[in-house]
Amino acid sequence: MEDHRNWTDASFKTYVRPLAAPAPFTIKAGERIDQSVSLKISGSAPTAASETAGPVTITLGETSGVMPKIGLGVHPRRAAAALEVADLIKQAGPQVLICHFDPRDGHSIDDLRCFKKLGEASEADLVLELVVPCENDYRQELAGIADQVRQAGVSFSAITVAPGADLIAGVPFSDFPKVPPLSDLYRAAREVFPGVAIGGGSFSYFTECNRRRPQAEDIDYLSHVTCAIVHAADDRSITETLEAVPYVIATARSFSGGKPYWVGPSAIASRHSPFGGSPAPNPHGERITMVRLDPRQRGLLGAAYYMGYIARMAAGDLAQVTLSAPVGEFGIVYRKMDWAQPWFDDADAQVYPAYHIIAGMAAAAGAERIMATSSAERDVLALAYRAEQTLVLWMVNLGGEARQVDIEGLPGGDTSICTLDAASFEQCVSAVDGFAATRRALSERML
């Protein structure tokens, strides 16, 4: 049985043979194999859907931790384009830009210099996501990269390190490529980047981090990535992946040794292919699995997914959550690209809906988080925090139908609401302040 929660999928899969059994194996012609699967279901039967169509109750509670820092991912392939919209990124206010660097892909000192310019223009801290090829002496490879960093004059507040083979999933019944012990790799990174926080985990899915766990004492923080379209790519399945996030968090914390826990750069689409090579480009914007370009990145569902994702991660007390990118396949700012972007290519649009989620959550970083529980988390998630003396509540509808919401624990006084939906879509994507411009007075706690 394979637990798909490793990929943030709310499902399980049975293999035809236990992974612990000897391999390879041969099935002779005419041989019959009988298999069976037994399921034990516990707990109360869920209420019929027709009986749950009433209001969703959002209950506000006590203070619980602080809001995480928010970051964006930057790939050298899109770094120059990101620099062109640095003013919009600065206005979004991410605390961190995580910069991918893989010498195997030809990344060089020029890319490091571009990262530096982008950090200066956006006023965000830079974190290096460093792939160490480990094709030769990894110590020499690290020393060479460190020399390029010094020559570029770029400063990274932290560096996450992983061997090149980390980007490839372990295929059942196959041997994982030989790489140096992770402890040795982290130690070598500290030697060439003295005084810089060194993180470990995985640049691929949580699955790889879970299978090849770093020793907590060797790293300053744990980090991994998720993707929402590994096993299914329909709209419902994407939002269902949020149900698995708490289990991922609990598992990661079980081997993090209490170190700070970061996630990202994550996205709906796939940044890497766990089977080697690059993810399929999907230029026609279809809803298919494990592609680099997913059309929902540009839409309301993308914004809903990212809001729900941050709500789940914040509830898990993560220190930092990095999502999307400035521009491109994972972008939050519209730019003309090599692929068609229906409606946007013909409209006077500036940003995608997800921009407002990133901007809103970045503004909340470090604020006191308030417990906000939903009576129907599959349909509606909520996140609340206190900004100075103001209580701010975000709610996200993860379904395709309108839902009525009753808010319990809402303090008295003047209340206002902003909305990001089909009716306000054009207004919200037309400008960075489009979402804020939807603000109106709210007189009732029932929405």
Quick check: 78 pLDDT over 50? Answer: yes
Instruction: Over range 390-418, report the average pLDDT.
Output: 92
Phi, psi of 61 (to 5 degrees): -125, -140
Stretch 287-309: mean pLDDT: 96
Instruction: Name the burial class of residue 421, with classes exposed (0-12), middle (13-18) and buried (19+) by CB atoms within 10 angstroms of its CB.
Output: middle
pLDDT at 14 over 90: no
Other beta carbons less than 10 A from residue 93's beta carbon: 18
Q: What is the 3-state secondary structure (H, E, C) of the chain?
A: CEEHHHHCCCCEECCCCCCCCCCCCCCCCCCCCCCCCCCCCCCCCCCCHHHCCCCEEEEEEEEEEECCEEEEEECHHHHHHHHHCHHHHHHHCCCEEEEEECHHHCCCHHHHHHHHHHHHHHCCEEEEEEEECCCCCHHHHHHHHHHHHHHHCCCCCEEEEEEHHHHCCCCCCCCCCCCCCHHHHHHHHHHHCCCCEEEEEEEEEHHHHHHCCCCHHHCCEEEEECECCCCCCCHHHHHHHHHCHHHHHHHHHHHCCCCCEEEEEEECCCCCCCCCCCCECCCCCCCCCCECCCHHHHCHHHHHHHHHHHHHHHHCCCCEEEECECCCCCECECCCCCCCCCCHHHCCCCECHHHHHHHHHHHHCCCEEEEEEECCCCCEEEEEEEECCEEEEEEEECCCCCCCEEEECCCCCCCEECCCCCCCHHHHHHCCCCCHHHCEECCCCEC
Residue 112 pLDDT more than 50? yes
When pLDDT is cut at 50, 70 and 90, the band that residue 51 belongs to is very low
Residue 175 has pLDDT above 90, yes or no: no
pLDDT of residue 50: 46
Dihedral of the alpha carbons of 291, 295, 297, 300, in degrees to the nearest 10: -150
Give the span between the Cα atoms of 207 and 189, in whole angstroms. Answer: 24
Range with lowest mean pLDDT among 43-47, 112-116, 239-243, 335-339: 43-47
- Please give the pLDDT value at position 178: 80
How many residues in total does the chain contain?
Answer: 447
pLDDT class of 75 with cuts at 50, 70, 90: very high
CA dihedral 353, 225, 335, 419 (to 10 degrees): 10
Q: What is the pLDDT of residue 204?
A: 84
Contact (Cβ atoms closer than 8 angstroms) between residue 88 and residue 351: yes
Q: Residue 380: its pLDDT value, please?
A: 97
- On the question of a cis peptide bond just before residue 24, with omega within 30 degrees of 0, the verdict is yes
Phi and psi at 112, nearest 5°, equal -65, -40
Burial (Cβ within 10 Å: 0-12, 13-18, ≥19) of residue 181:
exposed
Q: What does the block give as tokens for 433?
A: 């302040």
For residue 268, the tally of other CB atoms under 10 A from its CB is 27
Handedness of CA 419, 425, 427, 432 (dihedral sign): positive
Give yes or no for residue 15 having a pLDDT over 80. Answer: no
How much is the pLDDT for 291? 94
Q: Break the chain into its structural domains and give their ranges.
A: 56-62+368-441, 68-364
Does residue 413 register a pLDDT over 90? no
What proportion of the chain, given as a percentage, has pLDDT over 90? Answer: 77
Q: pLDDT at position 19, please?
A: 66
Mind listing the pLDDT tens digit for each residue in 196-255? Answer: 999 999 998 888 888 889 999 999 999 999 999 998 999 999 999 999 999 999 999 999
> What mean pLDDT is reported for the chain?
92
Q: Say if residue 275's pLDDT is above 80.
A: no
Average pLDDT on 45-50 reads: 64
- What integer pLDDT is reported at residue 246 of this predicted model? 95
Question: Superfamily assignment of 68-364 in CATH?
Answer: Glycosidases (3.20.20.80)
Q: Nearest-5° angle of CA 177, CA 181, CA 186?
A: 120
Is residue 355 a contact partner of residue 332, using CB atoms and an 8 Å limit?
Answer: yes
The Cα 18–Cα 154 span in angstroms is 49
Q: What pLDDT sits at residue 37?
A: 78
> Does residue 185 have a pLDDT over 90?
yes
CATH number (1.10.1740, 2.60.40, 1.10.10, 1.10.287) of 56-62+368-441 reads 2.60.40
| 57 pLDDT higher than 90 | yes
Higher pLDDT pick, 174 / 309: 309
Q: How confident is the model at residue 1 (pLDDT cuts 50, 70, 90)?
A: low
* pLDDT score at 332: 99
